[in-house]
Each structure stands twice: as structure tokens, then as C-alpha cells.
A and B are shown apart, each in its own frame.
Chain A
């Protein structure tokens, strides 16, 4: 048989056809189709999370000072979800978006995974991984050098809080080391606690018993925008009975204002005038608590001092604040003011609160005093539904320290920030003053070493540019941040702390006026990176410094320190995860005050009245001089807070940023809100791009038209415009602090800026 081309083709075709026909009768093609389909369903790069036994661990969230109880769900020991803990008395199961997205901080791309030493220029982002021994030795060497040359007071420790054992451990370190410069980041708490100190003579953390109040008069406090403990307040709001009333006073319809029973639009920065105007009406209509005012208060009526000089009392002073005048200042209708005052005073349990937005900026002492006076007028001090202050860390006891001469000398030096000085006698911390002081000093910088923990001043301090300049003057910056935040990115050494889910820490919080809750944040996982508890780092540095410093830290680690400070409370705390401490609140009307007069002082005698010269100690209204020439800058820029944006030391998680509306952020550009009528005058439309300029800086923004903002204002969200962290957050929108500078309250030194003049030009 010969095979030519043609028959070859025929036979081959026949064989192929035969093969095809045959294979149809085999499982191969059908099985392959099925398998191929399955193959496309299981790509190797699509993760398959490992399943296993589900367990739960309870802890306390420390991402903000709110101190909410959390329940962490784990699968095979791997944390997969955070939910609010229903049994925890502070938040009762409620949690904010930040708390829920906590695992993104634990596992996220912003973690500093080992100690780092700066390689390039500051902030350049070039790092060298170093061992813990090397990093701790470097810090010890620097501190020991400064101490040896008599400059121990030039070491500044900056923390986010002064409550709890970690800040206390750091303060103890500074005490034996020899520096008075322990600085807490400022918040509205500073102004409020000072007002409480001035009127009641009581130093401590302010508490607002919103749980038991039924008429909440909020001077711009974003109680549903992240003010105070968000978990606690959201939970409270959810359980509100219709008989409770919330009045929100602010120039922009915030989420709190939207949910309030009444929103009162007010000219920004005039809250003090309104508070005094309400006081006027309450006194004039004789609606105040006469028992309290007559028996337990001082300075309500005119009084004569030892020298025979007569002083105006509170009731005389507020006579200036007639509804007509206040209406003019605040832009609120006269009748509205009268009815507000009436409703407030007639409510059975009214409370007035302040601290704008999330309460990040202290505001003026006058404002806090005026609000305290309103509360006093309705007799709402130290009783359920009222306000009070609890002493700091009264539950922890630790052994006294012995200090050497160097420490004693250093400790007696004046504080660098001026807090507690003659000028600002009642202020404890003044971080906002630090940049200016550093930038003004011609000689050697008064800060030779800055140790930062739980704070991010390069993002949160107003006037970022000058803060950066000031930091350039500090020769040695150490960050203990677990995350690569702006300050860590600008440090010389990073000694990363454990993230909050890997860290042991007791967390003091408030759940209303009558009890303090001490929670225990227990590690839910072993540290996943090469990090160290900040308390352990300080103990190790203290030990390495030797002598009295070492002696003051006999503990092996922070855990040992914590157990000893808590003494017999430790066991209960460890077992139950929290302890509740009843506050020694005086019975209603058994008012005791530690003031000079022994009464609640409408006229705060302890107040520094030197600035402005010979002013009355009574709260008064003088407009905060906001920066900018009205001719050049015809609009006013104010910040706003939302619970979806974290503007404090810990920034947004990717999940939080994902929730942000496209009217707040569009690609990388931040959006500002203006009233449509204002926009019309400027030729701006929804989505227009514009250049926002203030005396401090400029930024490109997009326009979002919003009827709910007072014409003439621009509102910008806080919490955007990061330069550090990760690609899910960095370079998105504008940091409000790039556009504003601090304005010092003459009496307290605290920052009282609420806005800045600005202009918008279409580009």
C-alpha cells in the first residue's frame, strides 16, 4: 500500500475524527471542562482564610481616650473581628467605626515593624533597621549626656494623655531624671478642667453626666461626631427617651445638629456671648436655682474685697448681655435666645457642655467659665445629671521616689511651655506654645531631646509649617509610635510600641458622674512584629541610666509596675477585665468646694487677671481675634469633625477612609463646604476646583455646596491631608492645621482659635 498526500490527509482526518468521536465516549472532555471551570473558581491569589475554632477575647480599645470595651473574635487564635462589648459599662456594646476597624491597625501597612534609626535627612523616609539593644542604647546615651552636662530639664516627654499608669510611669521617669517637662497634648478638656478648677477648686478630669440629664445644651460639642467617648455617647443617644432634648449650637449643620431636637445656627466664635446672654435671661426672669446660688456660690452678687474695693458680681456683669445685644453678636433671634434660656432653666435636669466638634481645641477660658456658670445657675454641680471633676489616677498607688541633686535641680527649672508660670498659673500643659518658643529662641534650643508617645504633634498642632521648623531645632527626636505617623516619620529613632491589641494597659474612663471605670486592655495576640511596650522601653532606659533613676524602677517590666501600682485591685481587674470605682460625689446640695471662698465661685478669685491688664475675673466676651485681614480674606474658614475621620494622634484606617462620602473627598482632593449663596458670588459650582488661601497657607480644594452652612463660611473636614501613614490615607485632602495658626488665650495660654479668615478663588 502506497500512501500519497491525498490519502495521507484522508487517513489523518479519519483518525482525528475517530479520535474525536471516541473521546466523546470517554469521560475526558467532560471531566476537563468541569475541572477547567473549577480551576477558574480557585485562583491561587484569592486568599482562602483558614477556618477553625471560634473564640472571643475581651479587652478595652485605646485608639482614643474614650475607653470602650471590645470583644475580639478569633479563629484558631487569629483575631478576625472587633465588636463592642455589651457588658462593658462605658459603651454597652456600641463602638465607633475606628474601633470596629481596629484590626487594620494591627495588621496594616503603617506598622513600624522594628526599631528604626534615621539614615537620610529628617523626614526623608530612609531608615535603617536596628536592634532593640542598639536603639535603647542610643537613647540612653543621649539622655545620660544631657544629664551629665546639667541639661536634664531640656528633655521633653510628650504624651497623648496624663491619665493612667503609662503617662504616670513616664512622669515618674522625668521626675527622677530631672525634667519638669512632661507635656500632654491639649484638648478642650484643658480649658474645661481649668474652668472647673477656677470655680470649684477641684483638679481633675471633667465629667458630664449626660446619662442623667434631660436637656443637653451643647455649645458646638459634636456629641455624635466624636466628642468625648464616642461609644458611650452613641449608645446613650440610641437609648434616649423622647423626653430628652438636645440643643446644638453651631454655625454648620453637623451630624450632631442634624440629630438634635433643635439646631441653633450661631455666628462662629460667639458662643461665650450666647452663654452670658442666656445667663442674663435666666437671672432676669429669676429662673435660677436660688438655693444653690444663695448658699453655695460666691460672686453672684456684687462683693467687696478686704481692701474695701467693690467688685461687680456675675449677675451685674451679665446685665450687659441683653438679648438684643447678644442677638446682634450671635446672629440668633432675640426671642429664640429668651426661649432657649427659659427652656434650659425650666428643664428638670439641664446640662450645658462645650468643646467644639471632637473637642480637640481648648477654646477660651471665658467660654468654659461662662458654660460652667450656666450649669451653676441651674445648680447643676456635682450631682446626677450635672458636671463634676474626678481626681486623676486616684486608684493607683506607687512607692515614693528618692531623687538625686541633679534631678532635683532639673525638676525645679521652669517648664519650657510656660504652664504653671506666673503668666499661666492655672494651666498644666501648653503644647501649643512650644513651636513658637523654639522658633523664637536664638541660642541653644531649650529642648534637646523630645520623646513622643501617643501623640502626633506634626499633624495635630496648628500651623504645621512652623511646628516643623521648631522640630528642626530639636537635636534628638524619639518616637514610640507603633505606626509611621508624621512625627515618627520625622524622628531620629523610632522605638515602636506594641499596637493596642498587643499591649497590656489599664484604661481609666468615666461612665457618667457617679462612677469611674478602670478597664484592662489585655493583649489579644502576641506581638506580631519586633516591638516593645513603651512602658518596658522606659523602664529599660531608666535601668541603663543607673543610680537613683534605676532605683526608682525596681520592676522587671511594665506588667510588674502595673500590678504593684494597682495593689489588691489588680486581681479583680485581671479577672473581670474592669473595676468600677464609685466616685465620692457629694450628695445633692451637700456642696463642698476647695476654693478660697469655700463656695462655687462665679467670680473665680484664683483666675489670673493680669492679662489683659486688670481685667475682671468674671467670664466675659471679647471676640477671639482671628487671623487675617477682612479686605483680603472675605470668608471665614472653620473646621468640622465627623466620626468617619480621625483627626487625633491615630489616623484613619483604610476602612474608615472608604466610608468617606464623595462630597468630602474626590480622588486626592479634599472638598470644602460652602453655602450656595456664597458660592454664587464667587462663581463657584458644585465640584469646582478652587484655591483656598488663609494667612497661614493655601490648598487646592473642590467645592461642595451645602445649604446647611452659614453663608460666608467655608467648612473643611479635619483628619485629612496626612503626609505619612500609607497610600490609603496619605496625600488625600488638606490638613486644616496647615491653614491655621494657634491663638493664645491671654489668661491660660491655651489655643483658642476656632477659625481663620480665608478666600476662595476658582481655578
Chain B
């Protein structure tokens, strides 16, 4: 596996999801399905074999009626930077086929379907269940093949797939930039389908390294946290919440531990 720490890390695309604004409507999921040619089958209730690049989980505070509260957590691929941000997310490290790699230009983890042979090590390695396996060949009934997006390759049986941060949209935005002899993309030129679909604007997407992008500021908000932060996977998906119990649910905290106040012992050294 190649290691390319020598060239500069230009961009780190990431996402900030405001859980205080997420109503759990599912528009992000449907927007993603239709953008990324995600297949569907007659029974999708077994979530272990249901392919979702972003899935909304519902959690509750488990207090009795009427003190109950619920919260929805949309989970795309966390696009982990890995320990110390060296570009070794859990999945990439274990792939024996180099079917998934870390793009140092964007920080996005690829998944190459034609390269993947379906061993599913990456699925076992991913602590976020972001990766899904194609147990069957996808079938689009009636004339539904006609709505497939040519910018995203349909998958075949026996391969793993996952959220790509709509990388094809980055490719298209770059195409336009090259044509116009530009080096940089504007913030709104590259947005993921889920961010665009979110009807309440709960999902913000952009370059975490770029001070002018909204995500840069949002990720530093006191309300911000990441899921399973203490695994040091360094996800590039941040969440915002004003609810303490939601934040607690974001990692395996012991009762005496206070989220946000614990020093992450391996935090972000480079």
C-alpha cells in the first residue's frame, strides 16, 4: 500500500450535522439513494442487508412518558483520517486488494467496486457500520434502470459499497474549474446529495481546512462532537447537539465521565 505523506494535504472535506435541526424525515437517505444508484429490494427491513450510504438512527433518552426525548442521528461514512490523521482509517488499513484508499487531496476514502472482491474485512473493521455488502445483484424493476445516474457506477453482487461524499460531484466540479482555468472550488460548487436534500439545512458540507467554509467554524462549536471519538478514528463527520444525553450517546462514557471534558489522550497530533 502506498503511503504519500510527502505531498501536502490540500483539502479535508467534512460534514457537520446539526442534530437540533434533524427531524429524521429521511430526505437525505432518499436523496442519496437516487443520486448514487443505491438499489432496493422487496424487503428492506433487515437493516443488516439493507444498503444505505447514509442511514438515520433514532435514539431515545429512555426516560418515562412524558419526559421522553428522541433524537435522530444520520450516519454517512465518517471518512476517518485515522490515528494522527495519517490517512490510515480502519477500513483502508485492512483491505487486501487496495479497493479502498485514502485520497490525500480531499481526505475522502474511496471504494472501487471493480477492485473489491468482497472479503468484507473493511466492514468488520469499520466501527460505524458505514459499509454495506451486495449480497445480491441489484435489480431495477419496470423501467427504473432509466433513472440511473451515469456519474456513479452501479454495483454488482459480491462487492462492498459505502458513502463516497458524492465524490463524482467533486469530479464534475473540478472539470468545470479546469475548463475555467481555476484552481479552487467555491464552497457551493461541491456539495453532497444529502446536504442538498436536507430540507431543514441540518447538514453542512465543506472543506474543514478552509477558514471560509461554514464547516470550519461549526466544527469548533462547543456543541460539536464526533461519534466514538476515543477510538481515535478521527472522523470528518461532526455532529452538533445542545442535548447532553445525545452527546453522551456518542461514545461509551462511564457514568462519572463528562463528555467534552475528557482529554483525548491521542488527540490530533501530527
Contact = CB atoms under 8 A, between A and B. Distances in A.
Do chains A and B make direct contact within the complex (CB under 8 angstroms)?
yes
B25 A100 contact: no
A215 interface: no
**The 6 A-B residue pairs with the shortest CB-CB distance in the complex, in nearest-first order:** A238-B200, A94-B199, A234-B199, A708-B68, A265-B66, A49-B148
Interface in A680-736: 706-711, 726-728
Contacts of A708: 60, 65-66, 68-70
Most-contacted residue by chain A among B137, B138, B146 (CB, 10 A): B146
A51 B63 contact: no
A436 interface: no
B45 A667 contact: yes
7 contacts: A49-B149, A107-B142, A108-B144, A238-B198, A259-B23, A643-B25, A675-B65
A96 B27 contact: yes
Interface string B182-204: 00000000000000111111100
Interface in B85-103: none
Contacts of A728: 40, 42, 141
Interface string B139-157: 0111111111111001110
Given A49-B154, A657-B44, A224 B23 contact: yes
A43 B26 CA distance: 32
Contacts of A79: 147
Given A46-B156, A83-B197, A658-B50, A96 B25 contact: yes
B215 interface: no
A238 B66 CA distance: 25
B34 to A, nearest CB: 6
Contacts of A109: 141-142, 144
B257 interface: no
Interface string A633-656: 000000000011000000000111
B36 to A, nearest CB: 10
A47 B148 contact: yes
A100 B200 contact: no
B141 A655 contact: no
A253 B70 contact: yes
Interface residues of B, number: 60
Nearest to B21: A238
B24 interface: yes
B32 to A, nearest CB: 10
Contacts of A707: 60, 62-65, 68
Nearest to A529: B143
A103 B66 contact: no
A238 B25 contact: no
A107 B144 contact: yes
A78 B148 CA distance: 9
A84 B199 contact: yes
Interface residues of A, number: 77
Contact of A94 (B44, B137, B148, B200): B200
B147 A104 contact: yes
Given A81-B149, A100-B34, A655-B29, 8 more contacts: A47-B148, A78-B147, A82-B34, A84-B197, A96-B25, A224-B25, A654-B40, A708-B66
B265 interface: no
A331 to B, nearest CB: 9
Interface in B212-232: none
A83 B196 contact: yes
A107 B197 contact: no
Nearest to A75: B150
Contacts of A94: 199-200
Given A94-B199, A96-B199, A258-B71, A101 B30 contact: yes
B126 to A, nearest CB: 20
A644 B25 contact: yes
Contacts of A22: none
A100 B27 contact: yes
B44 A41 contact: no
Interface in B244-261: none
Interface string B42-82: 11111100101000101010111110111110000000000
A95 B197 contact: yes
Contact of A727 (B37, B42, B62): B42
Nearest to B20: A259
B23 A255 contact: yes
